Chain A
Amino acid sequence: MSLDTFTIQLLNGLVTSMLLFVMAVGLALIFGLMDVINLTHGAFYLLGGYIGLTLVRALGNFWLALLVAPLVVGALGLVIEYFFLRRLYGRGRHLEQVLFTFGFALIVIDLTRWYWGAFVESVPEPVELSGQVQLLFIQFPIYRLAIIFSGLALALVLWLFIERTRLGAIIRAGVSDAQMVSGLGINIQQVFAFVFALGTALAGLAGVIGAPVFHLYPGLDSEILILALVVVVIGGLGTLKGAFLGSLLIGLADTFGKALIPEFSRFLIFAVMAAILLVRPAGLFGLSEG
């Protein structure tokens, strides 16, 4: 591999990483705070992308789609949390929660296939960010570079939000002990609803951002869901840091794997996961149970 291709693969890896981060951070937050694995997360990604597609086609404006699609998906998340998922909280109900989100994923996927069809669709990248840019000795698409930067920016914003705001502090406390937080007279239900909506909105956002690069098709939902799950497994219990480093690891492993051993690229990711589990069964930043 020459230095040129290595650099390009590295940048492509970062693109995948950052997109995965936007996707996985919602999953990780929901998991960390509410102890729920949301298997609809991949469907929300796809739905976000499709809604973005329709908006771009109707309005011809990528930026508006980028704003509206996550809001729609987030609102749907709020509805699901408020009317259904809320009834399933509690210890020992993991199975029911998981199967509920699984059932919902089936519905969302089936309906998207119905409305948008089963062909590969793509959202054109915004005109402002089309074309290539010269980076030292290589050419790289501007839009992909923008994904890397927006992922980093989002990580920073989320970090500031979690670490520096009152709501962030509540969420942090809730991740370590939700009961204690509700004991402090804080309405943890509302916090749950907010985080669930935020998480799903982020999945929708990732869908719009990723659509120009990774396209949209039925089945993409589970591909991206599994990658995000692996990120959460590697990163450990609901931490921002874990989701970020996990995304970097998996995004790069996936990209370089595809370039070097195309037949077994996915295998590489799971090998990384298995190796980490062997050393740290609760993930890189998870609390190992005594």
Chain B
Amino acid sequence: MSSTAILQVEHLSKHFGGLAALNDVSVQVERGARQAIIGPNGAGKSTLFNLIAGELVPTKGQVYLQGRDVTALPVHTRANFGLGRTFQRNNLFFGLSAFENVRLAVQHRRRLNRELFRAADKNDLLTRESHGLLQRVGLGERADQIVRTLAYGEQRALEIALALATEPQMLLLDEPTAGMSPAETTQMVRLIESLPRALTLLVVEHDMDVVFSLADRITVLHYGQIIADGKPNAVRANPLVQEIYLGVQT
């Protein structure tokens, strides 16, 4: 096992009933990489993400996080091993304010969750850090607004803030620009580009412009199998990829 790999997926398969959503997939993500997974709808990208995050249990195969076999571990344990994620559909604490959303994540990382008697409001460290994160994703002005009433793009940004708040070493971004306007997309790409280089990114994305501007490595999934894997230019030049995927896109 390579010591530089932060994530290693080995011979992963997932069957739903008789249907194979993922078939013998092996992927390796190097520490500090910005890797994208692309593929047409139903290629198994979401399944792969959910298997990595622990939302699903694989039929076969193993997932290693920082060299540790996490295949049998639940979602929250994997998160505590440094795996953060955002969701394809906004998945937030909709009845709480933006600030309170981020604070939930910060207080977990700060191990303050078990603090029973001191008011969360009175903890300056919590407050400062949560506001800082909101500012970082451009939501400083929206701190006290209930999330349900935020604009869609703002909710997308809050997804990122939540994921960053746990200070992950690796971040799974599930279609970060899904449903966004071109202007919002540009902002989001800028936000993702501004993330520290030490943070490993694994992105599922449909927008090819976004993929090619962000990723230094691309993995192509098709019908639950990997058909190409390499540098963006090499993948772009791959005739098989052009035929079945990029050809469809243009």
Interface residue A290 (Cβ < 8 Å from any Cβ of B): yes
List CB contacts (< 8 Å) of B27-60 with chain A: 50, 55-56
CA distance A290 to B21 in the complex (A): 15
Measured CA separation A208–B208 after assembly (Å) = 68
| A39 CB, min distance to chain B CBs, angstroms | 27
Q: From residue B14, how far is it (CB to closest CB) to chain A in Å?
A: 11
A289 to chain B, nearest CB (A): 10
Q: How many of A's residues come within 8 Å of B, CB to CB? A: 1
Interface 0/1 of A277-290, CB less than 8 Å to B: 00000000000001
List the A side residues contacting B56 at CB < 8 Å: 290
Q: Within the assembled complex, what's the spacing in Å between the Cα atoms of A290 and B47?
A: 12
Report B-chain residues with C-beta under 8 Å of the C-beta of A290. Answer: 50, 55-56
- Shortest CB-to-CB span from B100 to chain A, Å, is 19
Q: How far is the CA of A290 from the CA of B55 in the complex (A)?
A: 7
CB distance from A128 to the nearest CB of B (A): 50
Q: Give residues of chain B (121-179) contacting chain A, Cβ–Cβ below 8 Å.
A: none
Residues on the A chain within 8 Å of B55, using CB: 290
Q: How far is the CA of A290 from the CA of B58 in the complex (A)?
A: 11
Separation in Å of the B137 CB from the closest CB of chain A?
A: 29
Task: Give the distance in Å from the alpha carbon of A290 to the alpha carbon of B54 in the complex.
Answer: 10
B19 to chain A, nearest CB (A): 15
For B50, give the chain A residue with the smallest CB separation.
A290
Closest chain A CB from B129 CB (angstroms): 32
Q: How far is the CA of A290 from the CA of B14 in the complex (A)?
A: 13
Residue of A nearest to B55 (CB): A290
For the complex, what is the distance from the CA of A290 to the CA of B56, rounded to whole Å? 6
Per-residue CB contact flags for chain A residues 246-290 toward chain B (1 = under 8 Å, else 0) read 000000000000000000000000000000000000000000001
A239 CB to nearest chain B CB (Å): 17
In the bound assembly, the distance between CA atoms of A290 and B50 in angstroms comes to: 10
CA distance A290 to B74 in the complex (A): 11
8 Å CB interface, B54-84 against A: 55-56
Instruction: State how many angstroms separate the Cβ of A197 from the closest Cβ of chain B.
Output: 35
Cβ contacts A115-126/B at 8 Å (1 or 0 each): 000000000000
A-B pairs, 3 with minimum CB distance: A290-B56, A290-B55, A290-B50
A-B contact pairs, 3 of them (CB 8 A): A290-B50, A290-B55, A290-B56
Report B's interface with A, CB cutoff 8 A: 50, 55-56
